[in-house]
Structure 1
Amino acid sequence: MRRFFLTIFLLASFVALGVGAWGLWWVHQPLPMKAATADLPVEPGTTPRGVAQLVADAGVDVSPPLLYWWFRISGQDRQIRAGSYELERGVTPKSLLAVLVRGEEATRSVVLVEGWNIRQVRAALAKADQLKPDTVGDTEEALMAKLGRPGVHPEGRFFPDTYTYSKGSTDVAVLQRAMRAMDRHLDAAWTARASDLPLKTPEQALILASIVEKETGKPSDRAEIAAVFINRLRVGMPLQTDPTVIYGLGASFDGNLRKRDLQADTPWNTYTRGGLPPTPISMPGKAALLAAVQPAQSKSLYFVSRGDGTSHFSSSLDEHNRAVNRYQRGNK
């Protein structure tokens, strides 16, 4: 009898060792998949057993009870995080669990570019991969209400940057992040402003920065361009900047700014109206924000493009006219 029980014990031990060895081998083997990638959305509150079933439902050829067994025996089953995951061919039970425990969600990114207007921002978000378009069709008023800023004009309210997001995120979430980023950068710039500016509010600084962003061809010219506009505001000269006129024309602008456009009065026409326009005209970046509040120490009131991205600055109309003749009309 003793020999019988010893035999049973040895057999059970061999079986356990065999199962253990097989399990150790299995957790390192790639899991068969029906497609090159598989989306795996794990909602908060999903149990480890439920996650194992979701993996199989996503197109991974695996036994849910077996995968759940691996989750349990690893001791990490309660550390699995909710999120939106993307599984690729070659994933093993071990690497899958590591992804779920670390919360390595599948991400995408969208770039919001300095100088873009709100129409361009919304167009980029509408085309962004795997981003839910919750604001498509909304008016600008409805958009800002959805973002918690009812009555605020959306232009210039979003900071230009690269924003990463999880698959299935909404455009509202990205815009909220961009809006908070602009708030932070504008607050920082306003705190660092020069003491003698004719700008009274952060809003005015944002408007000026948006103009500087559109007028700058070479980064090193930003502070000098800002100085021209600051100097004009100080002496009561109209800003006379083409980008504001173009913004006021809206979708009707065909790429060719004509004399009649400069004479057509809109709230953003800085040839027909004094002071700053009523809203920003683009998204300024950090450098433009700082230039607007820390302009160069300069007496310049005019500037003209040299045609190579740089500008020539003048403190008198006569000097400016000579620069226009040289750089715009080709007269030496």
Structure 2
Amino acid sequence: MIELMNRNPTSIYSIFIGMLATFVTTLFIFIYLSFFPASTHDKPFILHIPVASSVSNIAEILADNHLIHSKRFFKLVIRFMNADTKLRAGHFLIPQAINQQSLITLLINDSGSHNLIKVTIPEGFSINQISERLASHNICFKDDFETFAHSKAKTIFKDAFPFLSDIPKDTIEGYLFPETYFFQESASPKKIIEQMLKEFNKRIYIPFQKEAKSYPYSFHNLVTLASMIQKESRKLYEMPQISSVFYNRIKKRMYLASDPTVVYALGKSYKDRVYYKDLDIKSPYNTYRRLGFPPTPIASPGKKAFFAACNPDQTSYLFFVAKPDGSHHFSKTYDEHLEIQRIMKRRKKS
């Protein structure tokens, strides 16, 4: 203390300024690391850091992936943390929401061994199609996935996901949300399905739960209707119109008469198109011969299809027929519907 007091004011002032600068820098870095978000992505993804990458290289990669706001400040923080040689190379699973501190901690402590396989499950895929897609990417065996999805998943996951309790059958067809996923090679069907159910819960069940309760149909029936809308619609803007046709037909106690339900009923015997003889197939999924909804969804609907199931357009349409471009002609009467079909046949021949 005596030694400090004997120093001249300029020396004491310099020490004070140095301590203050260190404190302010530390505080600023703490705030930046703790509260500034890093990831601006709407879903998890795999980040690759090549072997022998310098801090500058890593900063460039992070900036390109919108994970840091300033390459210069990132390098400053790494030097301040004395972490220049601690950043690892490899494949890192970046979560949906992550702050700067968690990102740097991940790059230092994670093994970087996330050699996950990216696979996209399109809207309108059935369990059979999903299993084929997963098998083609060496993620799991087709038969194992189908067996688990059709006979085991509901029992195992119904407590975690309440919407499964309303399903009248054991299959969870329609509840595996279509999305791009990252899975381990040789992942278990249980692990895969749990992740897809979590996505359905987050994207469909939670957002639409209250809205669905205002309809006279069960949540399960709305998922089933959404799956039919998904399979019938190649144009997103038509989904509410197609939904209105199904609602109008239900009100009039008419068959829903949806070709995709017949395709689902035919299964492996389906031959690229629906023939008139196929409309007589004996199946609870044949909506040409059975009133009301099929017992389960026929595919996994996307969010827009489910929104259309809950929000149909207000129309008087009862029929629609597909045009060559994938859109539809809508009509209010059967005679009008037949006339449109005749016109389309004449155009096709000419």
Bin for the TM-score computed over the shorter chain: 0.5 to 0.7
**Contact kept? 2:241, 2:313, Cα under 8 Å:** yes
Return the TM-score normalized by structure 1: 0.65
The Cα of 1:231 is off from its aligned counterpart by 0.7
The Cα of 1:304 is off from its aligned counterpart by 0.9
Moved more, 141-150 or 264-273: 141-150
Mind listing any 5+ residue stretches in structure 1 that lack a counterpart?
1-28, 32-73, 88-96
- Aligned residue in 2 for 1:164: 182
- Aligned residue in 2 for 1:182: 200
Given candidates 94, 101, 107, the residue that maps to 2:109 is 101
The Cα of 1:330 is off from its aligned counterpart by 2.8
Q: Runs (4+) of structure 1 moved beyond 6 Å?
A: 74-77
Q: 1:75 to 1:285 in 2, by over 3 A?
A: closer
Q: 1:203 to 1:99 in 2, by over 3 A?
A: same
Q: 1:279 to 1:328 in 2, by over 3 A?
A: farther
Aligned AA (2:292) = G
- Aligned residue in 2 for 1:192: 211
Larger Rg: 1
Aligned AA (1:189) = F
Mapped to 1, the partners of 2:137 and 2:152 lie a distance apart of 18
**Contact kept? 1:305, 1:327, Cα under 8 Å:** no
The Cα RMSD (Å) is 3.6
- Aligned residue in 2 for 1:121: 130
C-alpha distance after superposition, 1:150-185 (max 9, x if no partner):
953121110000012356644432221111222333
Give the helix-richer structure, 1 or 2. 2
Given candidates 275, 283, 286, the residue that maps to 2:300 is 283
- Aligned residue in 1 for 2:335: 318
**Contact kept? 1:193, 1:294, Cα under 8 Å:** no
**Contact kept? 2:212, 2:222, Cα under 8 Å:** no
Aligned AA (1:159) = F
Secondary structure in 2 aligned to 1:313?
A: strand
1:327 aligns with 2:317: no
Q: Give runs of aligned pairs for residues 115-154 of structure 1, distance below 5 A.
A: 115-129=124-138, 131=139, 133=141, 135-136=144-145, 138=147, 140-144=149-153, 147-149=156-158, 152-154=170-172
Mapped to 1, the partners of 2:146 and 2:237 lie a distance apart of 39
Return the TM-score normalized by structure 2: 0.62
Mind listing any 5+ residue stretches in structure 2 that lack a counterpart?
1-50, 54-81, 93-104, 159-163
Aligned residues: 249
Q: Give runs of aligned pairs for residues 52-131 of structure 1, distance below 5 A.
A: 99-102=107-110, 104=112, 105-129=114-138, 131=139
Mapped to 1, the partners of 2:222 and 2:278 lie a distance apart of 26
1:257 aligns with 2:274: yes
The Cα of 1:329 is off from its aligned counterpart by 4.3
Mapped to 2, the partners of 1:137 and 1:240 lie a distance apart of 27
Secondary structure in 1 aligned to 2:347?
A: coil
